[in-house]
Structure 1
Amino acid sequence: MKVMYWRWLFFISGLIVMSLGISMSIKGKILGTSPWDVLHIGLFQNLGLTIGTWSILTGLLIVVTTSIIVRERPKIGTWLNMLLIGSFIDIFNWLLPTTMNEGLQVIYFIVGLFVLSFGCGMYIAPNMGAGPRDTLMMLIVERFGGTIKTARMGIEVGVTIIGWLLGGPVGVGTIAIALLSGYIVQYSLPYCRKILMKCIGQIEGMKPFF
């Protein structure tokens, strides 16, 4: 019971932190946004709704499609990832003040990059289920071969082009997130796992859950 409590707490907290970072990067869109947010913003600008809603809808499309292909029901963590991130993106977009000052937008973006990457490591640490986009990436690797890096890059290039055609903000920040976020997660993930183990009080030699 204690183990599951801390795992779920880290998972949901990580999603919230990552959503905060995504919203900060959106507020600093003078540098561009992440590949998926280029698409979400482009859809928002052309079709209305909200950026978070489009995050949920694109995630839902991916979840349904991948579930049909692999003939497996998505884990609860996948559904929560899809719903909570989109919802909290809208909440933070509403809470965080918008600025037209270019310097402040740059600060927004840089801090947002680190926050979203740390949140990503935090939500992955308890191993409660991959997000829709990560599931799609793994499916492509499984079905067509290649590396995770190649699959992720291919997906992100594709959604960036579509988002750009829809008027989404593409810039040096888009490339920065694509290239640097993985390196930050590489350090934040083991750190978050270490903290999680301390919270759970797992004894040495006990089989890990991830």
Structure 2
Amino acid sequence: MRKSFLWQWAFFLVGLMVMALGITLTIKGKAIGTSPWDVLHIGLYKQVGLTIGSWSILTGLFIIVTTSIFLKQWPRLATWLNMLLIGSFIDFFNWLLPNTTVIAFELAYFIAGFFVMSMGCALYISANLGAGPRDTVMMIIAEKFGGSVRLGRTVMEVFAALSGWLLGGPVGVGTVILALGTGYVIQWALPKFQEALQKRMIESNESTQQA
């Protein structure tokens, strides 16, 4: 049981790191726009300072506090880690990856980021250890107004993108692509990661029983 639990956390943590890498790649390729939430984070960075990763953490913290009050329950450990690690990894990869103003390279960054971010999101979700702060908001919107999860996500991301655009964040066709397209990649990848995790958890349990 202990080994299978470690596999869950491995998928979760690696998934967060991969997703943050993908987010950073799209930020580096922001000439055609970046994801709705990163439009907000970049807008806040331009107006106030700090770092993009810091704003990811601070907006996540605000969301966690407000949703906890609304739901009247304490967030799970994975939710806190999601908030802290994504922002920290974004700043690390933003420092590590070279900047470019060449449109072809920015486009390559964006395309790579689209797939890497989607795969990372599917990987961390497959661990089933808890939703991230923004995913929680999506569920609340869907439940409160009786709509679908997709509607909740759309409302949330339109609000984030509009707020970020007013602050000077990079909105473009890439913002629409990320808002509408990542779900399809996640939907395709999630069952595969869930199957892989389940297989490793079963193997771990069998090896423990044989020991």
Q: TM-score band, normalised by the shorter chain?
A: over 0.9
Summarize deviations over 1:76-105 as a string: whole Å, max 9, x none. 000000000000000000000101110000
Paired position in structure 2 for 1:9: 10
Matched residue type, 1:70: L
For residues 32 and 199 of structure 2, what CA distance do their matches in structure 1 show? Answer: 38
Paired position in structure 2 for 1:206: none
What are the equivalent positions in structure 2 for 1:70-85 lying under 5 Å apart? 70-85=71-86
For residues 53 and 173 of structure 2, what CA distance do their matches in structure 1 show? Answer: 23
Paired position in structure 1 for 2:55: 54
Q: CA deviation at 1:3?
A: 1.1
Paired position in structure 2 for 1:207: none
SS of the aligned residue for 1:173 comes to helix
Matched residue type, 1:104: F
For residues 59 and 194 of structure 2, what CA distance do their matches in structure 1 show? Answer: 29
Paired position in structure 1 for 2:207: none
What are the equivalent positions in structure 2 for 1:164-183 lying under 5 Å apart? 164-183=165-184
Paired position in structure 1 for 2:148: 147
Deviates more, 1:151-160 or 1:12-21: 151-160
Paired position in structure 2 for 1:163: 164
Summarize deviations over 1:92-140 as a string: whole Å, max 9, x none. 0000010111000000000100000000000000100000000011111
Which 5+ residue runs of structure 2 have no aligned equivalent? 205-211
For residues 145 and 184 of structure 2, what CA distance do their matches in structure 1 show? Answer: 25
Paired position in structure 2 for 1:18: 19
Paired position in structure 2 for 1:121: 122
Paired position in structure 2 for 1:89: 90
For residues 195 and 93 of structure 1, what CA distance do their matches in structure 2 show? Answer: 30
Q: CA deviation at 1:198?
A: 2.2
For residues 32 and 55 of structure 1, what CA distance do their matches in structure 2 show? Answer: 17
SS of the aligned residue for 2:100 comes to coil
Paired position in structure 1 for 2:70: 69
Q: CA deviation at 1:71?
A: 0.5
Paired position in structure 2 for 1:105: 106
Paired position in structure 2 for 1:208: none
Summarize deviations over 1:134-163 as a string: whole Å, max 9, x none. 001111122221111111101111111110
Identical-pair percentage: 58
TM-score (norm 1): 0.95
How many residues align structurally?
203
SS of the aligned residue for 1:105 comes to helix
For residues 101 and 71 of structure 2, what CA distance do their matches in structure 1 show? Answer: 45
Paired position in structure 1 for 2:197: 196
Matched residue type, 2:126: A
For residues 113 and 200 of structure 2, what CA distance do their matches in structure 1 show? Answer: 26
For residues 139 and 155 of structure 1, what CA distance do their matches in structure 2 show? Answer: 10
Q: CA deviation at 1:202?
A: 5.4
Paired position in structure 2 for 1:33: 34
SS of the aligned residue for 2:81 comes to helix
Q: CA deviation at 1:165?
A: 0.6
TM-score (norm 2): 0.94
Q: RMSD of aligned C-alpha atoms?
A: 1.0
Q: CA deviation at 1:201?
A: 2.5
For residues 111 and 9 of structure 1, what CA distance do their matches in structure 2 show? Answer: 23
